[in-house]
Amino acid sequence: MKKLLFLLPLLFVQISFPQEAVHIKKERLMKRVEYLASPELQGRLAGSEYYNTAAKFGANEFKKAGLKPFGDEDYFQYLNIEYNQILPDDKFSVIRSNGSVRKCEIGKDYIYRGFSGSGNITAPVVFCGYGISDSLYDDFKSVDVNGKVAMVFKYQPKWNIENKGWKNGNPREKARVAFQHGAVGILFVSFPNDEKPQLPIGSVISGSGEQNLNFPELHVDIPIADEILKGSSFTLKDLQTKIDLTKNPFSLSTKNKVKIKVETDYAKEKRTMNVVGLLEGKDDRLNNEYIIIGAHLDHVGGQGGKIYFPGANDNASGSAAVMEIAHAFAEGKIENKRSIIFVLFTCEEQGLYGAKYLANHLPVKQEQVVAMMNMDCVGYGDSIQIGNGKSAPQLWRIAKQIDANNDKMMIETTWNGGGADAGPFHNKGIPAIYFVTTNSYEHLHQLTDKPETLNKSLYQQITKLAFLTVKKVAEGKYKREPVLK
Ligand SMILES: [Zn+2]
């Protein structure tokens, strides 16, 4: 009897748990993540063959789940994007003033910016603070960078002058400023004074403007920056402290040189694709209304034939979850009244280009889309967060209610204004929510974002929650709510 009483609560949990969610399978989620994050797919850089292979895999998963092709051609919705690949056989080293050489290791000591140009140079390095050159503050005023490599902080100052904000300091902008002063390459460095200084990361964010084909751009680790500064009597930390305290430039010519040899394959326009599938609604009236569930499939690729960024959490996890949800609808024989558009976005990492393209080229009328749900970085961390709840509070509450009835993993904190691939839909007035795990970004854009780091049970829980939320909204009771700013 005692035993039986003990079992009773468990029984209730089982009964109250929605049956359909049993179709969300941990093993299947992880198997897809492992494939997407494997060396075979080399970090899924949008525009590359590796991304295209991932997209074909996604399309095939959609097909197996019984989704109808909903792209321009089969499951694919094509668009053109800017593309750059760092080719094999690169070299980067520090040449000390005494002639000795420190060979640097890609992925650890340095990582190229995604839109680095080519170059084969050996040149002295000049530290140029924040790499800013404007009328109130000029890091280039007192130094000569002509024919040299500029070393600058990757981000803008956290302070400003005369309450004027800084121009956006994206890598392309900083590279352009250095180039205009005669520099032949640029090294970006993180802030040594940050509580946890950022390690070099893979990133294809560049900013607008023309590609400088012959201008290498690297993100170097702080110890490498200090190696370059040796002989100057300052560490990078000293320099940041000095500049931030005085709010005055403090640039200097270092005693050391770097050798950079890198080739890149650049294309201003390269074809890539979103993967789009449709599950038709089963109600004659409501099937004209649509829910979009999406995740970005791309990541930041590989470099020099030596390293690649697996992007298991970012965002093989979200992509595999969207595929799993499609399967769960099929296997659970769910009678969804509204139609559901499943999508894997391309080119999020460069600037949400796939999501923007779909939001601007929807296969249905925009007014027919009642909700958009985004999944991005859903496999690492310790609880569930649903973003953009301040802009779509009713959708957020539906998810919150489902969570309260089930796993109770969702935190209250949310935000407004869209966020990543939810943004372009939010901006069009479509209510959107954003599924993410909390403390998700420890391995973000690093070589360590691997499947084995994922929190598998949390990953399954958030996928179940997303599935049940889509299913609930597909029932038709939720009416498209006005989007709050
Ligand atoms: Zn990312």
How does pLDDT run across 152-190, given as a tens digit for each residue? 999 999 999 888 889 888 999 999 999 999 999 999 999
Please tell me whether residue 274 adopts helix, strand or coil conformation. Answer: strand
Instruction: Check residue 103 and give its pLDDT.
Output: 98
CA 123 vs. chain centroid, Å, equals 33
- Is residue 346 within 8 Å of residue 296, measured between CB atoms? yes
Those residues of the chain that have pLDDT short of 50 are 1-16
Instruction: Check residue 283 and give its pLDDT.
Output: 97
For residue 300, how far is its CA from the centre of ligand 1 (angstroms)? 7
Instruction: Check residue 13 and give its pLDDT.
Output: 43
For residue 219, how far is its CA from the centre of ligand 1 (angstroms)? 16
Burial class (CB within 10 angstroms; exposed 0-12, middle 13-18, buried 19+) of 137: buried
For residue 392, how far is its CA from the centre of ligand 1 (angstroms)? 24
**Residue pLDDT, tens place only, 49-82:** 999 999 999 999 999 999 999 999 999 999 999 9
Instruction: State the CATH class of domain 90-262.
Output: alpha beta
DSSP 376-422: -S-SSSSSEEEETTTTSHHHHHHHHHHHHHTT--B-S---SS--GGG
- Is residue 37 within 8 Å of residue 316, measured between CB atoms? yes
CATH topology match: 16-82+267-474 vs 90-262: no
- Is residue 119 within 8 Å of residue 260, measured between CB atoms? yes
Taking the CA atoms of 35, 40, 46 and 48 in sequence, report the sign of the dihedral they define.
negative
Tokens of 137: 């503050």
Instruction: State the CATH class of domain 16-82+267-474.
Output: alpha beta
Domain ranges of the chain: 16-82+267-474, 90-262
For residue 311, how far is its CA from the centre of ligand 1 (angstroms)? 8
Instruction: Check residue 189 and give its pLDDT.
Output: 98
For residue 429, how far is its CA from the centre of ligand 1 (angstroms)? 25
Instruction: Check residue 11 and give its pLDDT.
Output: 46
For residue 231, how far is its CA from the centre of ligand 1 (angstroms)? 37
pTM of the predicted model, to two decimals? 0.94
Instruction: Check residue 21 and give its pLDDT.
Output: 81
**Residue pLDDT, tens place only, 14-45:** 444 566 788 999 999 999 999 999 999 999 99
How many CB atoms within 10 Å of residue 223?
14
Distance CA 56, CA 18 (A): 32
Bond into 315 cis (ω within 30): yes
Instruction: Check residue 22 and give its pLDDT.
Output: 85
For residue 314, how far is its CA from the centre of ligand 1 (angstroms)? 5
For residue 383, how far is its CA from the centre of ligand 1 (angstroms)? 19
For residue 350, how far is its CA from the centre of ligand 1 (angstroms)? 9
